[in-house]
Amino acid sequence: MSQSKPITSFIEKHFLHFNAAALVDAAKGYKKHIESGKKMMVTLAGAMSTGELGISFAEMIRQDKVQIISCTGANLEEDIMNLVAHSHYKRIPNYRDLTPAQEWDLLQNHLNRVTDTCIPEEEAFRKLQKHLFAVWKDAEDKGERLFPHEFMFRMLNSGDLKQYYEIDPKNSWMIAAAEKNMPMVVPGWEDSTMGNIFASYVYTGELKASTMKSGIEYMTWLADWYIKNSGKDGIGFFQIGGGIAGDFPICVVPMLHQDLEMDNVPYWSFFCQISDSTTSYGSYSGAVPNEKITWGKLSIETPKYIIESDATIVAPLLFAYVLEW
């Protein structure tokens, strides 16, 4: 085993068949795509930030292995919550055995559970809330309108949160993204905790809904970005999980072709999904990659990979391989 690349050499020696081999094939395809000069989108579904994907994903950002991100509102905020409240998180390894009464006790103690990890309301949500409100209100007073991630970047880049850091900031993918002003889309941001908090201020009249740019504006921005960055070969699409984080951005290509009638826009030029969703009827997450050909998202020639496994296990290993760790 190579001492300089222990994870990579371990994977190459042992990951030889089935989903393990699919991981290696996808990792090699990812590296080939990036090394050929093409760009890659990574989409984050679920609660990958609370799963501390930032430990590996932040380095992917710093080393330019990803050029654009699509994520849920939960992933956008939960990386920052972990950054400022890590010591207050509570792990529940026996979460499968909890009774409704025990779940209620967690709520009464202001601990919101994500599988085996509880996010502390006061130290995470409320600590960020006052700083975000100040950023939202300042922008509104100046007549500015920004996307959800741009407000987060502004808050991080101000340095106001440094007093709270409880993890090494190099393990925060949002800090890495903010430092690069990473292109991002955050579809469905409204259903996140901070989205709910923003809506509460709109309800009370303290903020205007128009201060926050919308999902439609994200799509039109993405259309323009794709046209300008896809060249002749297209953008790669690396999808972690399913849902809106993946389905929203992948639709920009058929929109450009079918709705805007642009003939010279390339299809997505690489596709990989990590999913534990079984192939099923009517499910986006459970659809095999070839189905996306019929929707005008991928071409016949697009390299396609699917790794049917737990993304919290697979994604850090694949990133480690791409980073040659």
Q: What share of the chain is helix, strand, coil (3-state, %, to 5)?
A: 55, 10, 35
**Kind plus residue range of the DSSP H or E element containing 41:** strand 40-44
Question: pLDDT tens for residues 135-184?
Answer: 999 999 999 999 999 999 999 999 999 999 999 999 999 999 999 999 99
314 residue type, one letter: V
CB within 8 Å of 218: residues ≥ 6 apart: 147, 185, 186, 187, 248
By the 8 A CB rule, do 48 and 241 touch?
A: yes
The structure tokens 């292109």 sit at 183
The structure tokens 């880049």 sit at 157
Look at residue 2 in the predicted model and tell me its pLDDT.
61
Q: Is the whole model's pTM more than 0.75, yes or no?
A: yes
Measured CA angle at 232 (ends 69, 274), to 5 deg: 35
CB within 8 Å of 240: residues ≥ 6 apart: 42, 43, 44, 45, 46, 48, 53, 273, 274, 311, 315
Residues 121, 77: Cα–Cα separation, whole Å: 13
Across the chain, which distance is largest between two alpha carbons, in Å? 62
Look at residue 166 in the predicted model and tell me its pLDDT.
98
Residues 162, 89: Cα–Cα separation, whole Å: 18
By the 8 A CB rule, do 54 and 79 touch?
A: yes
DSSP assignments along 2-39, one per residue: -SSSHHHHHHHHH--SHHHHHHHHHHHHHHHHHHTT--
Q: Which parts of the chain sit beneath pLDDT 70?
A: 1-2, 278-280
Question: pLDDT tens for residues 93-115?
Answer: 999 999 999 999 999 999 999 99
Residues 130, 140: Cα–Cα separation, whole Å: 15
Look at residue 288 in the predicted model and tell me its pLDDT.
84
